[in-house]
Amino acid sequence: MSISTPRTRGDAAPAASSTRTFPTDFLWGTATAAYQIEGAAAEGGRGPSIWDTYSRTPGRTLGGDTGDVACDHYHRWSEDVDHLDRLGVGAYRLSISWPRVQPGGRGPLNSDGVAFYRTLLDALRERGIRPFVTLYHWDLPQELEDAGGWANRETALAFEEYARLMATELGDRVEAWTTLNEPWCSAYLGYGSGVHAPGRTEPAAALAAVHHLNLAHGLAARAIRDVVPGAQVSVTLNLHVVRADDPASAADADAVRKIEALANRAFLGPLLDGAYPADLLADTAHVSDWSFVRDGDLELTRQPLDVLGVNYYSTVTVRHFAGDGERAENDGHGASTHSPWIGVTDVEFVQQAGPYTAMGWNIQPAGLTDLLLEVHRTYPGLPLAVTENGAAFDDELVVAGGERRVHDERRVSYLHDHVDAVGAALDAGADVRGYFAWSLMDNFEWGYGYSKRFGILHVDYATGERTWKDSARWYRRLVTTGALPAVTDVEG
């Protein structure tokens, strides 16, 4: 799969279409993740995760922020379900905190933790909101990391057991299961560049983690269907849209190939084709012999997928790096002296044209159309869903006439243009079934702590108060009509 079509740099022309409509069964939702919103890190029998350890280690997160309190969703979940109901979304993508339900990552379940999710799922279903549940959104129980984490094959086996237990406990309440969220980040940022928990910088371990995550997905998918025949199973990948700096350059084309291998085909290959790409193994042969891939593993990793989740925020542009001067590393994945691009030293990530979000990520809605179409062309017949898309901006809360408002025009435009880009992909034949805005509310943005706000609801971290941003009002109009509203449509 290659997503290297040249594009004009920067934003696409603003979509003028006010007549764009979506299929009536198109699923609209919002997304969150447990560690980013729940808080209550030491309550209800929850065990520690790698993100607790990492965020409490000085210098790891901006300002030393942790998820100890976060949005206090553990206590405010009922209010949050009310907000989802008012938004009118048909689905909500949440994740289960593995250490909340199985504190040591192995062994007995914590009944309080399971009860928390059972109650939440029931409340969602009572409102007609379909729960899309991710089993792993990065919060590995610390005990499993102490035993080697994702570099250790045993973690995949523990994940299988955890998935089986969750399917048994909650299977009747879950609309669709997602095994992993963005295993790219878990492996390469967690074990390669170290900008995510557990913060290791061991290139060979990062590749082992890639495989053990793929294996964990396959084992979990099989276990879920074993317990709940006919269960809907997916995985969510942050596939990279990789552009060549000079589309005419063969060296840049090879740079695209190398980055796509690590970013995309290292997951799509084993999950959908039952093989690792030969060029990936060759490119990384000096780092690892991949002997952690055992006989039979690649049948296990390839399980039928009911839908493939795709997260999209921005694009990257690469070029061949000849070794002169400093290598540009504008890949959007945070600063580290260790590269997440394991084994690749002759590629650089060039600074792209704006506009940018507060993350410094370039805004390019056309990248989402390209991505959906390319995946569709490569895997025809595989239904797709955009499981995350959204933007951080420095929002300002204003109080006027006693009313609290956040006029987040740039987020409204971002969402408008990206939803329009999904519509364009549908028009061109991609089988896209749903779209989930990241995020329902401002939350703990990993290494950036609380400094980056992605929510369509504003969260006052001092009081926990939620305030609807204009983007939430706009999104409600979209999801309740199925027609793309104008960016000015933010009242009501």
- Which amino acids are annotated catalytic? 182, 388
Phi–psi pair at 473, nearest 5 degrees: -65, -40
Site track 295-324 with ligand FCB (rule: CB under 6 A), x = hit: ----------------x-------------
Residues 136-195 that bind ligand FCB (CB under 6 A): 181-182, 185
CB of 292 to ligand FCB, least distance (A): 25
If binding means CB under 6 A, how many residues of this protein chain bind ligand FCB? 12
Helix H or strand E encompassing 347: strand 347-349
Q: Compute the least distance from the CB of residue 232 to ligand FCB, in Å.
A: 20
446 is a contact residue toward ligand FCB (CB under 6 A): yes
Interaction residues for ligand FCB, span 451-490 (CB under 6 A): 454
Cα angle 162, 300, 312 (rounded to 5 degrees) comes to 75
The residue among 26 and 312 lying less far from ligand FCB, judged by its C-beta, is 312
Residue 238 makes contact with ligand FCB by CB under 6 A? yes
| 35 contributes a contact to ligand FCB by CB under 6 A | no
Q: Of 60, 141, 67, 61, nearest to 100 (Cα)?
A: 141
- Nearer to ligand FCB by C-beta: 110 or 439? 439
Pick between residue 66 and residue 238 the one whose CB is nearest to ligand FCB.
Answer: 238
Strands in 347-349's sheet, in edge-to-edge order, are 242-244, 316-320, 347-349
Question: Amino acid identity of 432?
Answer: V
Task: Name the token pair of 185.
Answer: 């980040």
Cβ contact 90:22 at 8 Å: no
Torsion of Cα atoms, 110 then 115 then 116 then 120, to 10°: 150
C-beta closer to ligand FCB: residue 155 or 311: 311
Q: State in angstroms the smallest separation of the CB of 171 from ligand FCB.
A: 24
How far is it, in rounded angstroms, from Cα 480 to Cα 478?
A: 6
Provide the token pair at 148.
């080697």
Q: Which tokens hold the place of 346?
A: 């002759």
Q: For ligand FCB, which residue of 438, 468, 474, 475 counts as binding (CB under 6 A)?
A: 438
Applying the rule CB under 6 A, the residues between 383 and 402 that interact with ligand FCB are 388
Q: How far is the CB of 40 from ligand FCB (least distance, A)?
A: 18
Burial of 350 (C-beta count, 10 Å sphere; 0-12/13-18/19+) = middle
Q: Which segments within 98-244 are labelled E, that is strand? A: 130-136, 176-181, 233-237, 242-244
- Site for ligand FCB contains 445 (CB under 6 A): yes
Site track 64-103 with ligand FCB (rule: CB under 6 A), x = hit: ----------------------------------------
Give the residue with the Cβ less far from ligand FCB, 152 or 181.
Answer: 181
* Closest to ligand FCB by CB, 136 or 446: 446
Among the listed residues 448, 476, 466, the one whose alpha carbon sits nearest the alpha carbon of residue 397: 466
Minimum distance from residue 391 beta carbon to ligand FCB (Å): 9
User: What b-and-e string marks burial along 192-225, b requiring 16 or more CB atoms within 10 Å of the CB?
Assistant: bbbbbbbbbbbbbbbbbbbbbbbbbbbbbbbbbb
CB of 435 to ligand FCB, least distance (A): 15
Q: How far apart are CA 124 and CA 131, in angstroms?
A: 7
Q: Which parts of 353-382 interact with ligand FCB (CB under 6 A)?
A: none
Provide the minimum distance between the beta carbon of 420 and ligand FCB in the complex, in angstroms, as a whole number: 20
Q: Which two tokens stand for residue 170?
A: 């909650």
The closest alpha carbon to 117, from 55, 174, 43, belongs to: 174
The answer to the question of residue 267 lying near ligand FCB (CB under 6 A) is no
Q: Kindly indicate which of the ranges 74-82, 128-136, 189-197, 438-446 contains the residues binding ligand FCB, using the contact rule CB under 6 A.
A: 438-446
Q: What are residue 294's phi and psi, to 5 degrees?
A: -95, 165
Nearer of residues 194 and 485 to ligand FCB, judged by Cβ: 194
> Which residues of this chain interact with ligand FCB, rule CB under 6 A?
33, 36, 181-182, 185, 238, 311, 388, 438, 445-446, 454
